Amino acid sequence: PSHLIAPAVHKTREQIAELLSKEVGEELPPDPDQLVRVARERLRQSFIDADVGISGANIAIADSGTLVIVTNEGNGRLVTTLPPVHIAVLGIEKIVPTMEDATAILQVLPRSGTGQKITSYVSFMTGPSRSADIELTLTIGVHGPKEQHIVLLDNGRWAAREDEELHEALHCIRCGACSNVCPPYQIVGGHVFGHIYTGPIGLIMTAMHHGLEHAAGPQSLCASCNACEMVCPAEIPIPRLILDVRARSVEAFGMPA
Ligand code: SF4
């Protein structure tokens, strides 16, 4: 992805039309209205036919077992409600203790990410769909999935939690604000600025999730201007952590050529 919260922002309408044309097997013009109409028509039936819907989640509330998904397009709704089984895959750092903690993130995330007071769509999901509307008889799966499963990913997070430097990066709420103010990122873009997770925090996440060997090259893009730390709502000392990753990669692989 080129940006944490806008992974396809670098694509032109012509590129999107070309991609969608290949998928649907007909030549589509680079007209946003038509492209959206075709996507709606084709994708809806796929969601209806699917046996399983797989999503991520922005927050998981331990108190109630509630998943929270925020989007500006509503594109998390069909996948979590139409198929009979919903599987949510999320990192363990997404878990917060209570609804109050989740509410604090819901206020900070859109403000830092897109300058909004609240994201356009905020979905709370607690277990499978249930209803007792008819004669107070509890029925599962009437308005949504009959089953909900949550897969918690470690992928280096637990080790980072024990790391005296990297544990601070686990506070990241993926708002992308650090990318927006990073001068080197603005020049080179997201495809080289980290491996999967991009931008300043991506340089740290890359080492955490994919190993130092993937972070060794991209980390050298950081100019240590400290702009990212100034805007980070989670107050993560990003430049210091990038320098730590840099020191570790130089120790492991030597100075970059
Ligand atoms: S490091 Fe901070 S600014 Fe960057 S995405 Fe995470 S929370 Fe947002």
- CATH code, domain with 93: 3.40.50.10420
Task: Report DSSP state, residue 24.
Answer: H
Q: Is 201 in the pocket of ligand 1 (CB under 6 A)?
A: yes
Residue 185 falls within a domain, yes or no?
A: yes
Residue 168 falls within a domain, yes or no?
A: yes
Residues 6+ apart with CB under 8 A from 138: 130, 131, 132
End-to-end CA distance of the chain: 26
User: Do 167 and 109 share a structural domain?
Assistant: no
User: Do 149 and 58 share a structural domain?
Assistant: yes
Q: Encode 195-217: b = buried (16+ Cβ within 10 Å), e = exposed.
A: bebbbbbbbbbbbbbbebebbbe
Q: For residues 160 and 170, is the Cβ–Cβ distance under 8 A?
A: yes
* pLDDT at residue 194, rounded to an integer: 84
- pLDDT tens string, the chain, 257 residues long: the values are 789 998 888 999 999 999 999 999 999 999 999 999 999 998 899 999 999 999 999 999 999 999 999 999 999 999 999 999 999 999 999 999 999 999 999 999 999 999 999 999 999 999 999 999 889 999 999 899 999 999 999 999 999 999 999 999 999 999 999 999 999 999 998 888 888 889 999 999 999 999 999 998 888 899 999 999 999 999 999 999 999 999 999 999 988 77
* pLDDT at residue 217, rounded to an integer: 87
Domain span at 217: 157-253
Taking residue 168's Cβ as centre, other Cβ atoms within 10 Å add up to 18
Q: Is 109 in the pocket of ligand 1 (CB under 6 A)?
A: no
User: Do 67 and 105 share a structural domain?
Assistant: yes
Residue 26 falls within a domain, yes or no?
A: no
User: Do 222 and 171 share a structural domain?
Assistant: yes
Spatial CA neighbour of 78 closest among 110, 106, 45, 119:
45
Q: Is 170 in the pocket of ligand 1 (CB under 6 A)?
A: no
User: Do 228 and 181 share a structural domain?
Assistant: yes
d(CA 6, CA 4): 6
Spatial CA neighbour of 89 closest among 54, 61, 113, 115:
54
Domain count for the chain: 2
Query: Of the residues 134, 153, 172, which one is the last residue of a structural domain?
Result: 153
Taking residue 222's Cβ as centre, other Cβ atoms within 10 Å add up to 21
- CATH classification of the domain holding 232: 1.10.1060.10
* pLDDT at residue 129, rounded to an integer: 94
* pLDDT at residue 196, rounded to an integer: 85
How far does residue 170's CA lie from ligand 1's centre (Å)?
A: 10
Residue 44 falls within a domain, yes or no?
A: no
Pocket test for ligand 1, best of 232, 238, 242 (most atoms within 8 A of CB): 232
Query: Of the residues 121, 153, 185, which one is the last residue of a structural domain?
Result: 153
User: Do 138 and 166 share a structural domain?
Assistant: no
Query: Of the residues 153, 182, 217, which one is the last residue of a structural domain?
Result: 153
Residue 219 falls within a domain, yes or no?
A: yes
Q: For residues 39 and 20, is the Cβ–Cβ distance under 8 A?
A: yes
